Amino acid sequence: MPPPLDLRGLAGDAVSGGAAGLHAPKRQALWRDAVQGTILGGRRASLAGKSVLIGVSSQFDAALAMLELDGVVARMVITPPDFTSERLASAIAQAQVEAIICDDDVKDFGVDVTRVRVSALAPETEPRPAATETEWVLPTSGTTGAPKLVAHRLAGLLGAVRPRAAGEAAPVWATFYDIRRYGGMQIFLRAATSGATLLLTEASEPLADHVTRMAAAGVTHLSGTPSHWRRLLMSPEATRIAPKYVRLSGEIADRAVLANLAAFYPNAKIVHAYASTEAGVGFEVTDGREGFPAAYLDGVGGVEMRVVDGSLRLRSRRTADRYVGRDDLALADADGFVDTDDLVERVGERFFFKGRRAGTINVGGLKVHPEEVEQIINPHDAVRMSLVKARRNPIMGDLIVAEVVLREHDVSAEQKRAVKDEILAACRARLERHKVPVSIDFVPSLAMSAGGKLLRGKA
Amino acid sequence: MSIRLTVLSVVENVAAEQEKTLTPLANDTVLANSGLDSLCFAIIVARLEDTLGVDPFTASEEVYFPVTFGDFVALYENAAAA
């Protein structure tokens, strides 16, 4: 048995020149110092073999924490910064979290668990134990409002990361993603294991400042969702950078965004990649066109692909292992293929993405289950039932809209307005912003199946 | 109501709903500095499609992404004239 991969060891081996590191708006660290240092001030040993949640607010601290804890803890639950306290509590319970790595004492995690405050990066004094294999856990949207926790191994997360060719200059990576989401984590891991500099942003940083830092650092590789790229293209700062490599993932890359990027960055290699938290990195498309070649179904780069009932299924060593704390949920089918719920259609020698199966909605790369929104709307006294669905949008891919059937038929316009305001207030209080319906339409009825279920139709 | 005024009123409504502080909008106002984020623009484009019956981002093969408020209004004026 070879020893398990350990991120710190891989990052240490990759640092060649020594100048590469992590750059955040107000802080930076060389990889060399990061792999030899600690932000846990002597408390790391107490976390060995435990289940921990990375609950720091900043990406910079999250990066250092992942680097320090991989190979030490049994399980790392990595939650994005917009997670509500309700979702945090659910993740903590499902993953049996014993300690939270955090950067303040006031953040509400929904439950009381031992907190470990991070401190500034300092040189290491205590010896590191022999590496153990850490389970990396990333949440994804669930139908019930409780997140589903997706378990990966580092080897699977690194499955699509190619080592840098000998003699190739170290890239300067930047990403619009948060590194605590699958797409951003890929970039973090790529940079960490290849000795590349990585520019991280923080929630408070304006786009113009982020791009200014990219320009100053000479960014060569940049990744984000199509929505992130559209936002950049709508910003005058876009002309200040000249990446050699432009990567899109997490949403359908449409012709408009691909064509605009090609015109804007004529010297860049433009790649759109297919990946999801459950399926891992699937494949890349490098010909600049929408969709992907039908020949990919014969196998591509270590991934096997099938289309079943119009939906894409993937099998590779990069897919997640399982859902944590949910033995009732299968992540893959009997053959080990993960159903992505992404609908594809073949036209000649090309497959095109047609949107999501009527299960989940993709808003700017973030997944939303209609049920989690309906659960907030339906308890309203005036509401009989509701249907939440997607509305296609050229800026964010999809937006959330709701149709609501009221209990009473004779309702004045004024009462309807009040109900609408109350529904929206409840949604805003309990859902992340992108999950709040952008319109609420009152309808006389909703189509039901013979079995009494809402007919959702294709999104 | 002119297209420009329609756009302006939709932008102001969405900013208020999303609790964003809107900068005064002139032709040369950079959208990225207007106080609105991508989600706001996505909602604005959806509302304008309902109001004006047109979505210039999907109406033609040649799409460009507006940088200033003037660009944004022009997109709708040109789409309505087409």
Dump pLDDT digits (tens) for A108-143.
999 999 999 999 999 988 888 788 999 999 999 887
Helix (H) or strand (E) holding A232: helix A226-233
pLDDT of residue A127: 82
Put simply, the answer to whether A227 touches B38 (Cβ < 8 Å) is: yes
Phi, psi of A284, deg, nearest 5: -120, 150
Low-confidence stretches of chain B (pLDDT < 50) are none
Return the residue in B65, B71, B73, B76 with the most chain A beta carbons within 10 A, the one to mutate for interface testing.
B65
Q: What is the model's pLDDT at position A1?
A: 59
Query: Which pLDDT belongs to residue B29?
Result: 96
Helices marked H in A308-381:
370-377
Count CB pairs under 8 A between chains A and B: 62
What are A54's strand-pairing partners? Answer: A78, A101
3-state secondary structure chain B: CCHHHHHHHHHHHHHHHCCCCCCCCCCCCEHHHCCCCHHHHHHHHHHHHHHHCCCHHHHCCCCCCCCEHHHHHHHHHHHHHC
What mean pLDDT is predicted for residues A158-175?
85
Using an 8 Å CB-CB cutoff, list chain B residues near A433.
18, 39
Q: Tell me the mean pLDDT in the region A100-115.
A: 93
Going by C-beta distance under 8 Å and a sequence separation of 6 or more, which residues neighbour residue A72? A44, A47, A48, A128, A129, A131, A132, A134
Structure tokens that stand for B50 in this block: 């309902």
Query: What is the per-residue pLDDT for A17?
Result: 60
Mean pLDDT within A367-381: 93
B-chain CB neighbours of A394 within 8 Å are: 45, 55, 57-58, 63
**Partners of residue B33 in chain A, C-beta under 8 Å:** 208
pTM greater than the 0.85 cutoff: yes
Local structure of A391: helix, strand or coil: strand
Flag if B66 and A208 touch (Cβ within 8 Å).
no
Contacts by residues B30-37 (CB-CB < 8 Å, ≥ 24 positions apart): B30/A235, B30/A236, B30/B67, B30/B68, B31/A234, B31/A235, B31/B66, B31/B67, B31/B68, B31/B69, B31/B71, B31/B72, B32/A207, B32/A208, B32/A231, B32/A234, B32/A235, B32/A236, B32/A237, B32/B67, B33/A208, B34/B69, B36/B11, B37/A231
Quick one: which of A125, A171, A121 has its CA closest to A19? Answer: A171
Asked if residue B20 lies in contact with residue B40, where contact means CB atoms within 8 angstroms, the answer is yes
Chain B closest CA to A433's CA: distance in Å?
9
**CB < 8 Å to A82, chain B:** none
What's the gap in Å between the CA of B3 and the closest CA on chain A? 20
Nearest to B57 among A235, A237, A394 (CB): A394
d(CA A250, CA A231): 15
pLDDT value at A18 more than 60: yes
pLDDT band at A99 (very low <50, low <70, confident <90, very high): very high
Per-window interface: A 236-275 vs B, CB < 8 A: 236-237, 256, 259-260
Which residue is listed with tokens 């307005």? A417
Identity of the amino acid at B61: E
A389 touches chain B (CB under 8 A): no
Cβ contacts of B76 on chain A, cutoff 8 Å:
none
**Does residue A393 belong to the interface with chain B, where contact is any CB pair within 8 Å?**
yes
Res. A416: pLDDT tops 80: yes
The per-residue pLDDT for A107 is 92
Chain B CB contacts of A438 below 8 Å: 42-43, 46
Q: Is A294 left (phi over 0), alpha (psi -120 to 50) or beta?
A: alpha
Q: What is the pLDDT of residue A459?
A: 42
Query: Helix crossing, A7-14 with A182-192: angle to 10°?
Result: 50
What pLDDT score does A16 carry? 62
**Strand A366-368, strand A114-117: pairing:** unpaired
A208 in reach of chain B (CB within 8 A): yes
Mutate to test the interface with B, among A254, A395, A440, A441 (most CBs of B within 10 A): A395
Q: Which of A208, A364, A391 sits opposite B46 (nearest CB)?
A: A391
**Does A425 touch chain B if contact means CB atoms closer than 8 Å?**
no
Rounded distance between C-alpha atoms, residue A54 and residue A73, angstroms: 11
Mean pLDDT computed over every residue of chain A? 92
- Decide if B45 and A394 are in contact by the 8 Å CB cutoff: yes
Chain B positions in Cβ-Cβ contact with residue A227 (cut-off 8 Å): 38
